[in-house]
Protein backbone atom coordinates (compact mmCIF):
# COMPACT_ATOMS: atom_id res chain seq x y z
CA UNK A 1 0.00 0.00 0.00
CA UNK A 2 1.51 3.34 -1.03
CA UNK A 3 1.64 6.08 1.56
CA UNK A 4 -0.61 9.09 1.03
CA UNK A 5 1.20 12.00 2.62
CA UNK A 6 -1.04 15.00 3.23
CA UNK A 7 1.05 16.59 6.00
CA UNK A 8 2.57 19.25 3.78
CA UNK A 9 3.57 20.10 0.23
CA UNK A 10 7.18 20.00 1.46
CA UNK A 11 7.05 16.18 1.33
CA UNK A 12 7.18 16.25 -2.47
CA UNK A 13 10.13 14.19 -3.61
CA UNK A 14 11.75 15.17 -6.92
CA UNK A 15 10.26 13.73 -10.11
CA UNK A 16 12.27 11.27 -12.25
CA UNK A 17 12.83 14.10 -14.75
CA UNK A 18 14.30 16.24 -11.96
CA UNK A 19 16.62 13.47 -10.84
CA UNK A 20 17.89 13.07 -14.37
CA UNK A 21 18.42 16.81 -14.79
CA UNK A 22 20.27 16.87 -11.47
CA UNK A 23 22.55 14.02 -12.50
CA UNK A 24 23.42 15.81 -15.73
CA UNK A 25 23.61 19.39 -14.45
CA UNK A 26 26.50 21.62 -15.48
CA UNK A 27 28.02 23.00 -12.32
CA UNK A 28 30.73 25.34 -11.05
CA UNK A 29 31.61 27.14 -7.84
CA UNK A 30 28.64 29.40 -7.11
CA UNK A 31 30.59 31.36 -4.49
CA UNK A 32 32.69 32.54 -7.47
CA UNK A 33 29.48 33.06 -9.47
CA UNK A 34 30.65 30.23 -11.73
CA UNK A 35 27.74 27.81 -11.60
CA UNK A 36 25.95 28.10 -14.94
CA UNK A 37 22.83 26.26 -13.76
CA UNK A 38 22.45 28.48 -10.69
CA UNK A 39 22.94 31.55 -12.88
CA UNK A 40 20.28 30.35 -15.29
CA UNK A 41 17.83 29.60 -12.48
CA UNK A 42 18.37 33.06 -11.00
CA UNK A 43 17.88 34.73 -14.41
CA UNK A 44 14.72 32.80 -15.18
CA UNK A 45 13.28 33.36 -11.70
CA UNK A 46 13.97 37.11 -11.91
CA UNK A 47 12.32 37.25 -15.33
CA UNK A 48 9.24 35.33 -14.17
CA UNK A 49 8.81 37.68 -11.24
CA UNK A 50 9.55 40.82 -13.25
CA UNK A 51 12.51 41.72 -11.04
CA UNK A 52 16.05 42.80 -11.96
CA UNK A 53 17.81 40.02 -10.11
CA UNK A 54 17.32 36.89 -8.04
CA UNK A 55 19.30 34.78 -5.60
CA UNK A 56 19.11 31.05 -4.87
CA UNK A 57 19.00 30.30 -1.13
CA UNK A 58 18.94 27.10 0.90
CA UNK A 59 15.43 27.50 2.33
CA UNK A 60 12.44 29.77 2.63
CA UNK A 61 13.63 30.77 6.08
CA UNK A 62 17.00 31.82 4.69
CA UNK A 63 15.24 33.72 1.91
CA UNK A 64 13.05 35.66 4.31
CA UNK A 65 15.90 36.28 6.74
CA UNK A 66 18.25 37.48 3.99
CA UNK A 67 15.51 39.85 2.81
CA UNK A 68 14.60 41.20 6.24
CA UNK A 69 18.26 41.75 7.12
CA UNK A 70 18.91 43.41 3.77
CA UNK A 71 16.08 45.87 4.48
CA UNK A 72 16.35 46.50 8.23
CA UNK A 73 19.05 47.61 10.65
CA UNK A 74 19.20 46.53 14.31
CA UNK A 75 16.41 47.93 16.45
CA UNK A 76 14.21 48.67 13.47
CA UNK A 77 10.73 47.32 13.20
CA UNK A 78 8.80 45.21 10.71
CA UNK A 79 5.02 45.03 10.56
CA UNK A 80 3.61 41.58 9.82
CA UNK A 81 0.80 39.17 10.66
CA UNK A 82 0.65 37.34 14.00
CA UNK A 83 0.22 34.16 11.99
CA UNK A 84 2.96 35.02 9.49
CA UNK A 85 5.48 32.25 8.96
CA UNK A 86 8.28 34.79 9.53
CA UNK A 87 6.91 35.55 12.98
CA UNK A 88 5.78 32.11 14.10
CA UNK A 89 7.90 29.49 12.43
CA UNK A 90 11.36 30.86 11.73
CA UNK A 91 12.86 30.47 15.21
CA UNK A 92 12.85 34.21 15.82
CA UNK A 93 15.67 34.52 13.30
CA UNK A 94 15.08 38.19 12.41
CA UNK A 95 15.41 39.07 16.11
CA UNK A 96 18.20 36.57 16.71
CA UNK A 97 20.51 37.62 13.87
CA UNK A 98 19.23 41.07 12.93
CA UNK A 99 17.86 42.62 16.10
CA UNK A 100 14.72 43.34 14.10
CA UNK A 101 11.61 43.85 16.19
CA UNK A 102 8.30 42.42 14.95
CA UNK A 103 5.13 44.49 15.29
CA UNK A 104 2.34 42.00 14.67
CA UNK A 105 -1.24 42.50 13.49
CA UNK A 106 -4.10 40.00 13.37
CA UNK A 107 -4.48 38.12 10.10
CA UNK A 108 -8.04 38.37 8.77
CA UNK A 109 -10.02 35.41 7.43
CA UNK A 110 -9.13 36.36 3.83
CA UNK A 111 -5.42 36.34 4.67
CA UNK A 112 -5.02 40.12 4.60
CA UNK A 113 -3.90 42.56 7.28
CA UNK A 114 -6.35 45.41 7.84
CA UNK A 115 -5.10 48.53 6.02
CA UNK A 116 -6.04 50.91 8.82
CA UNK A 117 -4.31 48.72 11.36
CA UNK A 118 -1.19 48.80 9.19
CA UNK A 119 -1.38 52.62 9.05
CA UNK A 120 -1.80 52.83 12.80
CA UNK A 121 1.09 50.43 13.44
CA UNK A 122 3.57 52.67 11.60
CA UNK A 123 5.58 54.63 14.16
CA UNK A 124 5.79 58.40 14.09
CA UNK A 125 9.02 60.31 14.28
CA UNK A 126 9.69 60.35 18.02
CA UNK A 127 12.80 59.51 19.97
CA UNK A 128 10.84 57.00 22.05
CA UNK A 129 9.81 54.84 19.11
CA UNK A 130 11.61 52.21 17.12
CA UNK A 131 11.93 53.10 13.45
CA UNK A 132 9.42 51.25 11.28
CA UNK A 133 11.25 50.00 8.19
CA UNK A 134 9.36 47.13 6.60
CA UNK A 135 5.96 45.57 5.97
CA UNK A 136 5.80 41.82 5.26
CA UNK A 137 2.87 40.09 3.57
CA UNK A 138 2.49 36.33 3.11
CA UNK A 139 1.03 35.11 -0.20
CA UNK A 140 -0.60 32.67 -0.05
CA UNK A 141 -1.35 33.15 3.65
CA UNK A 142 -0.95 29.61 4.94
CA UNK A 143 -2.88 30.08 8.19
CA UNK A 144 -5.96 31.36 6.33
CA UNK A 145 -6.64 28.25 4.20
CA UNK A 146 -3.79 29.32 1.91
CA UNK A 147 -5.68 32.46 0.90
CA UNK A 148 -4.27 34.18 -2.19
CA UNK A 149 -3.84 37.95 -1.71
CA UNK A 150 -5.03 39.78 -4.85
CA UNK A 151 -3.05 42.47 -6.73
CA UNK A 152 -5.30 45.37 -5.72
CA UNK A 153 -4.83 44.60 -2.02
CA UNK A 154 -1.06 44.35 -2.48
CA UNK A 155 -1.09 47.68 -4.33
CA UNK A 156 -2.93 49.26 -1.38
CA UNK A 157 -0.32 47.99 1.07
CA UNK A 158 2.50 49.08 -1.26
CA UNK A 159 1.01 52.60 -1.40
CA UNK A 160 0.99 52.78 2.39
CA UNK A 161 4.60 51.59 2.42
CA UNK A 162 5.64 54.16 -0.17
CA UNK A 163 3.82 57.00 1.61
CA UNK A 164 5.80 56.24 4.77
CA UNK A 165 9.11 55.44 3.13
CA UNK A 166 8.89 51.75 4.12
CA UNK A 167 9.89 48.65 2.20
CA UNK A 168 7.48 45.84 1.29
CA UNK A 169 8.62 42.21 1.40
CA UNK A 170 6.38 39.38 0.22
CA UNK A 171 6.91 35.95 1.73
CA UNK A 172 5.67 34.21 -1.38
CA UNK A 173 6.57 30.67 -0.33
CA UNK A 174 3.49 29.68 -2.38
CA UNK A 175 3.29 32.71 -4.70
CA UNK A 176 2.67 30.51 -7.75
CA UNK A 177 -0.30 28.93 -5.98
CA UNK A 178 -1.62 32.45 -5.45
CA UNK A 179 -1.03 33.38 -9.09
CA UNK A 180 -2.75 30.20 -10.27
CA UNK A 181 -5.77 30.70 -8.03
CA UNK A 182 -6.17 34.34 -9.11
CA UNK A 183 -5.47 33.70 -12.79
CA UNK A 184 -2.64 36.27 -12.93
CA UNK A 185 1.10 36.10 -13.49
CA UNK A 186 3.23 35.91 -10.34
CA UNK A 187 4.98 39.09 -11.54
CA UNK A 188 1.64 40.91 -11.20
CA UNK A 189 1.52 39.92 -7.52
CA UNK A 190 5.00 41.21 -6.68
CA UNK A 191 5.37 44.21 -8.97
CA UNK A 192 4.82 46.66 -6.10
CA UNK A 193 7.05 44.77 -3.65
CA UNK A 194 10.70 45.58 -2.95
CA UNK A 195 11.49 41.91 -2.43
CA UNK A 196 9.89 38.49 -2.68
CA UNK A 197 10.94 35.02 -1.63
CA UNK A 198 9.39 31.79 -2.86
CA UNK A 199 10.00 28.08 -2.27
CA UNK A 200 11.04 25.67 -4.99
CA UNK A 201 10.83 22.83 -2.49
CA UNK A 202 7.09 22.86 -1.72
CA UNK A 203 4.40 22.39 -4.34
CA UNK A 204 7.02 22.95 -7.03
CA UNK A 205 8.58 19.59 -6.11
CA UNK A 206 12.29 20.50 -6.03
CA UNK A 207 14.22 18.73 -3.27
CA UNK A 208 15.87 21.85 -1.83
CA UNK A 209 15.85 25.59 -2.26
CA UNK A 210 14.12 28.91 -2.40
CA UNK A 211 14.64 32.08 -4.41
CA UNK A 212 14.72 35.74 -3.40
CA UNK A 213 14.12 38.43 -6.02
CA UNK A 214 14.24 42.21 -6.15
CA UNK A 215 16.30 45.09 -7.53
CA UNK A 216 19.94 44.43 -8.39
CA UNK A 217 21.00 46.62 -5.52
CA UNK A 218 18.75 44.73 -3.05
CA UNK A 219 20.03 41.37 -4.27
CA UNK A 220 23.64 42.51 -3.73
CA UNK A 221 22.82 43.19 -0.09
CA UNK A 222 20.84 39.94 0.32
CA UNK A 223 23.78 38.08 -1.25
CA UNK A 224 26.13 39.42 1.42
CA UNK A 225 23.65 38.43 4.15
CA UNK A 226 23.32 34.96 2.64
CA UNK A 227 27.10 34.57 2.79
CA UNK A 228 27.14 35.64 6.43
CA UNK A 229 24.49 33.04 7.24
CA UNK A 230 26.62 30.28 5.76
CA UNK A 231 24.45 30.10 2.67
CA UNK A 232 27.22 30.37 0.10
CA UNK A 233 27.09 27.00 -1.63
CA UNK A 234 29.49 25.53 -4.14
CA UNK A 235 28.23 23.25 -6.95
CA UNK A 236 24.65 24.11 -6.13
CA UNK A 237 23.69 23.74 -9.80
CA UNK A 238 22.77 20.16 -8.88
CA UNK A 239 19.88 21.70 -6.96
CA UNK A 240 19.15 24.46 -9.46
CA UNK A 241 18.67 21.86 -12.19
CA UNK A 242 15.61 20.59 -10.34
CA UNK A 243 14.56 24.17 -9.61
CA UNK A 244 14.50 25.01 -13.32
CA UNK A 245 11.97 22.23 -13.87
CA UNK A 246 9.99 23.64 -10.94
CA UNK A 247 9.87 27.04 -12.63
CA UNK A 248 9.21 25.87 -16.17
CA UNK A 249 6.78 23.03 -15.52
CA UNK A 250 5.59 22.76 -11.95
CA UNK A 251 4.28 26.33 -11.80
CA UNK A 252 1.84 25.42 -14.60
CA UNK A 253 0.11 22.49 -12.94
CA UNK A 254 -0.79 23.87 -9.51
CA UNK A 255 -4.48 24.07 -10.47
CA UNK A 256 -4.45 20.27 -10.14
CA UNK A 257 -3.48 20.59 -6.46
CA UNK A 258 -6.18 23.19 -5.93
CA UNK A 259 -8.72 20.79 -7.46
CA UNK A 260 -7.68 17.91 -5.20
CA UNK A 261 -7.83 20.19 -2.16
CA UNK A 262 -11.36 21.17 -3.11
CA UNK A 263 -12.28 17.53 -3.76
CA UNK A 264 -11.05 16.67 -0.28
CA UNK A 265 -12.87 19.59 1.37
CA UNK A 266 -16.13 18.82 -0.42
CA UNK A 267 -15.82 15.18 0.62
CA UNK A 268 -15.24 15.85 4.31
CA UNK A 269 -17.93 18.54 4.40
CA UNK A 270 -20.45 15.67 3.88
CA UNK A 271 -19.19 13.75 6.91
CA UNK A 272 -20.57 13.85 10.41
CA UNK A 273 -18.47 15.47 13.17
CA UNK A 274 -16.51 17.58 10.70
CA UNK A 275 -16.51 21.35 10.34
CA UNK A 276 -14.75 22.98 7.45
CA UNK A 277 -15.44 25.84 5.04
CA UNK A 278 -15.28 24.68 1.45
CA UNK A 279 -15.72 28.25 0.22
CA UNK A 280 -12.35 29.19 1.71
CA UNK A 281 -10.46 26.54 -0.25
CA UNK A 282 -8.84 28.50 -3.07
CA UNK A 283 -5.42 26.86 -3.21
CA UNK A 284 -3.90 23.64 -1.81
CA UNK A 285 -4.52 24.04 1.94
CA UNK A 286 -7.57 22.78 3.86
CA UNK A 287 -8.26 23.06 7.57
CA UNK A 288 -10.98 21.14 9.35
CA UNK A 289 -12.10 20.65 12.93
CA UNK A 290 -13.69 17.68 14.60
CA UNK A 291 -16.75 18.65 16.61
CA UNK A 292 -16.76 18.24 20.41
CA UNK A 293 -19.03 15.17 20.19
CA UNK A 294 -16.87 13.36 17.62
CA UNK A 295 -16.21 9.70 18.53
CA UNK A 296 -12.47 10.22 18.06
CA UNK A 297 -9.87 12.90 18.88
CA UNK A 298 -7.67 14.46 16.19
CA UNK A 299 -4.49 12.74 17.32
CA UNK A 300 -6.38 9.43 17.37
CA UNK A 301 -7.79 10.11 13.91
CA UNK A 302 -4.31 10.81 12.63
CA UNK A 303 -2.86 7.69 14.31
CA UNK A 304 -5.62 5.42 12.93
CA UNK A 305 -5.32 6.82 9.41
CA UNK A 306 -1.60 6.17 9.52
CA UNK A 307 -1.71 2.69 11.07
CA UNK A 308 -4.70 1.30 9.17
CA UNK A 309 -4.52 3.12 5.86
CA UNK A 310 -1.02 4.56 5.35
CA UNK A 311 -2.48 8.06 5.26
CA UNK A 312 -0.48 10.83 6.92
CA UNK A 313 -2.32 13.89 8.19
CA UNK A 314 -1.02 16.04 11.02
CA UNK A 315 -3.17 17.51 13.77
CA UNK A 316 -2.67 21.27 13.59
CA UNK A 317 -3.97 22.18 17.02
CA UNK A 318 -5.05 19.34 19.29
CA UNK A 319 -6.90 21.58 21.76
CA UNK A 320 -8.84 23.16 18.89
CA UNK A 321 -9.39 19.68 17.38
CA UNK A 322 -8.08 21.03 14.09
CA UNK A 323 -6.19 19.31 11.30
CA UNK A 324 -4.40 20.83 8.32
CA UNK A 325 -4.20 19.02 5.01
CA UNK A 326 -2.13 20.01 1.99
CA UNK A 327 -2.33 18.59 -1.50
CA UNK A 328 0.60 18.46 -3.93
CA UNK A 329 2.10 16.84 -7.00
CA UNK A 330 2.02 13.30 -5.60
CA UNK A 331 -1.64 13.46 -4.50
CA UNK A 332 -3.96 12.40 -7.31
CA UNK A 333 -7.79 12.32 -7.24
CA UNK A 334 -7.76 8.57 -6.45
CA UNK A 335 -5.63 9.25 -3.34
CA UNK A 336 -8.21 11.76 -2.17
CA UNK A 337 -10.95 9.18 -2.76
CA UNK A 338 -9.02 6.62 -0.69
CA UNK A 339 -8.53 9.18 2.07
CA UNK A 340 -12.21 10.08 2.11
CA UNK A 341 -13.32 6.46 2.41
CA UNK A 342 -10.81 5.85 5.22
CA UNK A 343 -12.13 8.89 7.09
CA UNK A 344 -15.72 7.80 6.49
CA UNK A 345 -14.89 4.41 7.97
CA UNK A 346 -13.65 6.10 11.12
CA UNK A 347 -16.29 8.79 11.47
CA UNK A 348 -19.34 7.34 9.80
CA UNK A 349 -19.03 3.52 9.99
CA UNK A 350 -22.71 2.87 9.25
CA UNK A 351 -22.68 4.74 5.99
CA UNK A 352 -19.24 3.35 5.08
CA UNK A 353 -20.60 -0.17 5.64
CA UNK A 354 -23.63 0.53 3.46
CA UNK A 355 -21.36 1.75 0.66
CA UNK A 356 -19.21 -1.34 0.94
CA UNK A 357 -22.29 -3.58 0.69
CA UNK A 358 -23.67 -1.84 -2.37
CA UNK A 359 -20.24 -2.02 -4.01
CA UNK A 360 -20.07 -5.81 -3.49
C1 LIG B 1 7.57 26.93 4.26
C2 LIG B 1 7.39 28.38 4.41
C3 LIG B 1 8.48 29.22 4.64
C4 LIG B 1 9.88 28.73 4.95
O5 LIG B 1 10.38 27.78 4.14
P6 LIG B 1 11.47 26.70 4.68
O7 LIG B 1 12.04 26.23 3.40
O8 LIG B 1 10.69 25.67 5.42
O9 LIG B 1 12.46 27.41 5.52
C10 LIG B 1 8.24 30.57 4.71
N11 LIG B 1 7.01 31.07 4.57
C12 LIG B 1 5.94 30.30 4.35
C13 LIG B 1 4.60 30.93 4.18
C14 LIG B 1 6.09 28.94 4.28
O15 LIG B 1 5.02 28.17 4.07
Q: Give 172-195 pLDDT, tens digit per residue.
A: 999 999 999 999 999 999 999 999
pLDDT of residue 1: 62
Residue 307, SS3 per DSSP: helix
**Pocket probe mutation, ligand 1, options 9, 62, 66, 85, max atoms within 8 Å of Cβ:** 85
pLDDT in tens, 297-312: 999 999 999 999 999 9
CA distances from 263 to 53, 288, 305, 338 (A): 38, 14, 18, 12
Local confidence band at 49 (pLDDT 50, 70, 90 cut-offs) = very high
Q: Which stretch of DSSP H or E encloses residue 333?
A: helix 333-347
- Residue 61: per-residue pLDDT: 98
Ligand 1 pocket, mutate which of 61, 138, 198 (most atoms under 8 A from CB)? 61
* Ligand 1 touching residue 148 (CB < 6 A): no
Q: Which residue owns the Cα nearest ligand 1 atom 4?
A: 60
pLDDT of res. 319: 85
User: In this model, does residue 116 exceed pLDDT 90?
Assistant: yes
**pLDDT value at residue 304:** 96
pLDDT at position 252: 98
d(CA 140, CA 130): 29
DSSP 8-class letter at 125: S
In contact, 251 and 176? CB cutoff 8 Å: yes
Nearby residues of 122 by Cβ (< 8 Å), 6 or more positions away: 79, 132, 160, 164, 166
Amino acid sequence: MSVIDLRSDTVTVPTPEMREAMANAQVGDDVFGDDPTINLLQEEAAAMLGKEAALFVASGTMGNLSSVLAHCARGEEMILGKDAHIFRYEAGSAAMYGGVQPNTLPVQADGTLDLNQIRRAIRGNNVHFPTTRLICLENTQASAFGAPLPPDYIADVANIARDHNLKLHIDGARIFNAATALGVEASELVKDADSVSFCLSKGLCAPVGSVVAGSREFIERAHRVRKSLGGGMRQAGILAAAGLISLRKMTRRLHEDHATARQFAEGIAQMPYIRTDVSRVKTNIVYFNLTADAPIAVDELSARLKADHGILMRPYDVSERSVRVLTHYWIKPEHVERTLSAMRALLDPVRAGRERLSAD
